[in-house]
A and B are shown apart, each in its own frame.
Chain A
Amino acid sequence: MNIQKSTVIALCSVLEAALDPDKQISSAEVAEKYGISPHHLAKVLRRLGRAGLLESSRGVGGGYRFCGNAKRTTLMDVIALFEDKIVEPDKQFEKQYATAVERAIAQVLVEIDETAKAVFNSITIATMIGLIERQGRSRP
């Protein structure tokens, strides 16, 4: 499975903000923490803002905070903003490919995508926060 860099940045940004929804997160700090370009991060944040997951403020000390519903928002809701192929695995492979080899490979790839979709759909931001906290306790 191929997840775009923008999607990973989006997930990190949302989770960083959701860990403390009352706190304004500095986008510069997030860019530095995850080694991503501030320009790329800004584009991702804009999209997340349009989707109603983040609220941003401009200027000195500006940043963003999580404004979604952590118990209702799933990883798939975030991923779907950036990845079209995972959202709708292409099940039309029988028509698309001329050879049995290509169709068999496509069938396996669809199975992988369907499994990934089920996992992403079942994990909410609140569940991820619990996971992050447990990870933090086991290895600070």
Chain B
Amino acid sequence: MKANNKTKTAAAPPAPASAPDTPADYLIRPVRAGDLEKLIAVDAQITGIQKAEYWRQRFRGHVARKDQSSHFLVAEKNSAIEGLIIGEIRDWEFGTPPCGWVFGISVRPEARLSGVATRLLDALCASFRLAGMTKVRTLLVSDDLLVMKFYRSQGMMAAPIITLERKLD
């Protein structure tokens, strides 16, 4: 993984406890093995579901990819994981030309409205751009308005892809 690191200035004074967070308060960096348990806890807090094995598989799958196509970033503040984003470059997914896909983005409720998600998405998009991608896509359920509003606010519009389903009865 490359070009995702955005480091804070070491000399920056700590913000007063009462000051609202700013995007610069967060370090956006690639995930590390030591983050795994924290990620599991953050996801459980956000979704209300414990998915430890899912995250371990996700992490193993990400580490196993050696071709720089998989991206797994976290937002860190004071050694705590406050958010994460997972994405991947997929070639000819559903018959479409190669592009970057965002598989998921999460930010702890306490860290929201401080620009963390925007920084996570920007960092992921920067990696996609470096890999020569010109588009980023995602897929989400139609009633997930919180996340959909976020993606819309980032300028994302409907892709020329339609999801279809049917019952298997």
Contacts and interface: CB of A to CB of B under 8 A. Distances in A.
Nearest to A134: B155
Nearest to B151: A122
Tier of interface size on chain A: 10 to 19
Contacts of B41: none
A118 interface: yes
Contacts of B148: 118, 121-122
B153 A119 contact: no
Q: Determine the interface band of chain B, counting residues with CB < 8 A from chain A.
A: 10 to 19
Contact of A127 (B142, B145, B149, B158): B149
Contact of A124 (B142, B143, B149, B158): B149
A61 interface: no
A122 B145 CA distance: 6
Nearest to A76: B145
B8 interface: no
Interface string A96-120: 0000000000000000001100110
Given A119-B158, A122-B148, A130 B143 contact: no
Main secondary structure of the interface of A (DSSP, over half): helix
A114 B153 CA distance: 21
A119 B143 CA distance: 10
A131 interface: yes
Contacts of B142: 114-115, 118
A41 interface: no
Nearest to A114: B142
B51 interface: no
A134 B152 CA distance: 14
B149 A118 contact: no
A118 B152 contact: no
B155 A122 contact: no
Contacts of A134: 155
Contacts of A130: 153, 155
Counting from the closest, the 7 A-B pairs by CB-CB distance are: A122-B148, A118-B142, A127-B152, A127-B153, A122-B152, A123-B152, A122-B149
8 contacts: A74-B149, A118-B142, A118-B148, A121-B145, A123-B152, A126-B153, A127-B153, A130-B155
